[in-house]
Each structure stands twice: as structure tokens, then as C-alpha cells.
Chain A
Amino acid sequence: DVKVTQSSRYLVKRTGEKVFLECVQDMDHENMFWYRQDPGLGLRLIYFSYDVKMKEKGDIPEGYSVSREKKERFSLILESASTNQTSMYLCASDVRRDQPQHFGDGTRLSIL
């Protein structure tokens, strides 16, 4: 089975801090994704990557950046955390667009 592992289940940070969320997948998938999930809004795509060192903006990239230096690892970076970035963050990967995405268990991030 595909395993997508997010480094933290819960994280508390302060406003203005630089925050790193890490995601690793073990199935050699080309494509990786970062979403945020908020009550009543569903999942919204922040960034995705279809190859090492490649990235594409999703629907809500403002305030975020990403890094993909190795195929299995995709990092989400909050350059200067703000309280409106308090949310559940989900990482996913897939092998191609007609195959389902596999999700990690999420990181619940609180910015105080």
C-alpha cells in the first residue's frame, strides 16, 4: 500500500514564525500535492509538483511556498505564519491523473 507520511499530526507556532510542513511518500509517485482543509470549505489546493524541482500554484498559494528537492519529499513552507493560516493541512501523491490521490493523515496547525 502507498504510504504518505506527514511529519507532525499537531503543530503550534507563533505569528511571524517560518513554518515547515514535511511530507514523504514511498511509492515513487511523480505528483505531489498540498491542500488545506477548513470546515465548510472542503479541500483547497495550495501547490502541487509533478517532478523534482517543479511546482505549480493551486487555488490559494498566497503566503505559502513549496520545495521538492527529492522525488519522495514535498515540503510546504509558511514564510511568515499568520493566524488565518490556522488549518488542517493534507499532503497527497499520485502516479498519474486518472489514478486516485493517496493522502497523509494531515497536520493540524495552530498559529497563535
Chain B
Amino acid sequence: AQSVTQLDSQVPVFEEAPVELRCNYSSSVSVYLFWYVQYPNQGLQLLLKYLSGSTLVESINGFEAEFNKSQTSFHLRKPSVHISDTAEYFCAVSGPLTHQLTFGKGTKLSVIP
């Protein structure tokens, strides 16, 4: 069985400050890791994904996440946040042996002007 823990349910941060949203997973097999973002009154959108290869993955809007196998983590970072980054962020895990995508409980990022 696989599981995902997002350690912070809410993260307030000032505009242009850096942010890290934490995600830890548990799985007995190799994993695929995803970060999704949900803006108010919308469905989820893929932010970035790790399947294999380079452990650092980047999105087009300045977010990045690093896969750390020894610490079973996939933390999301951005060096300078904007008001438009205010949203809920979900970490998710699946793998080659399962089609089921398991989500964390989400982290609400609030960017303060």
C-alpha cells in the first residue's frame, strides 16, 4: 500500500518570499510522483511530475520539486511567490504496479501582499 503525507495544511507566505511545501510518501516499490494545483472553483491541474531520471523537476511557472529516495520526500519549492500562486496544492503517488493515484490531504498556500 502507498500513502502520502503533506505535513502542512496551510502555509501563509508574503509575496516575493520563498516557499516550500512538504510531501513525504511511503511505498514498497518504485513510484511516480506528482504535484497538482487547484485554484478556487476549479479541478486539479498538473504542476510537475517525477517518473525517473533527474531527481530535480521543474514547472513552467517557477516551481520545482526534488525526489529524495532516501528520505522518501518530494518537496515543492518556489524561490519567489506571486499572488497568483494562492491555491491548494496536492502531492500524489502512483507506480508501475498500480493504477491508483493516492493523494495527500493538500496544502493551502496563501500569498499575502
Contact surface of A with B, Cβ cutoff 8 Å: 4, 31, 33, 40-45, 48, 50, 58, 90, 92, 97-98, 100-106
Contacts known (A98-B51, A98-B96); A105 close to B42, Cβ less than 8 A: yes
> What's the minimum C-beta distance from B43 to chain A, rounded to whole angstroms?
3
Verify A42–B49 contact, CB threshold 8 A. Answer: no
Verify A97–B99 contact, CB threshold 8 A. Answer: yes
- The interface centre, meaning the residue of B94, B96, B98 with most chain A CB atoms within 10 A of its CB, is B94
Q: Which listed residue, B95, B98, B105, touches A41 by the CB 8 Å rule?
A: B105
Contacts of A43 in B (CB 8 A): 44, 90, 103
> What's the minimum C-beta distance from A21 to chain B, rounded to whole angstroms?
14
Q: Say yes or no: is B63 at the interface (Cβ < 8 Å to chain A).
A: no
Q: Which listed residue, B46, B98, B99, B104, touches A100 by the CB 8 Å rule?
A: B46
**Count the B residues whose beta carbon is within 8 Å of the partner chain — how many?**
24
Q: How many residue pairs between the two chains, A and B, have CB atoms under 8 Å in the bound complex?
A: 52
Verify B106–A50 contact, CB threshold 8 A. Answer: no
Verify A42–B90 contact, CB threshold 8 A. Answer: yes
Contact surface of B with A, Cβ cutoff 8 Å: 9, 32, 34, 36, 41-46, 49, 51, 90, 94-96, 98-101, 103-106
> What's the minimum C-beta distance from A24 to chain B, rounded to whole angstroms?
14
Verify A48–B100 contact, CB threshold 8 A. Answer: yes
Verify A105–B9 contact, CB threshold 8 A. Answer: no
Verify B99–A103 contact, CB threshold 8 A. Answer: no
Contacts of A101 in B (CB 8 A): 44, 46, 101
Q: How far is the CA of A103 from the CA of B44 in the complex (A)?
A: 6
Contacts of B105 in A (CB 8 A): 40-42
> What's the minimum C-beta distance from B101 to chain A, rounded to whole angstroms?
6
Contacts of B90 in A (CB 8 A): 42-43
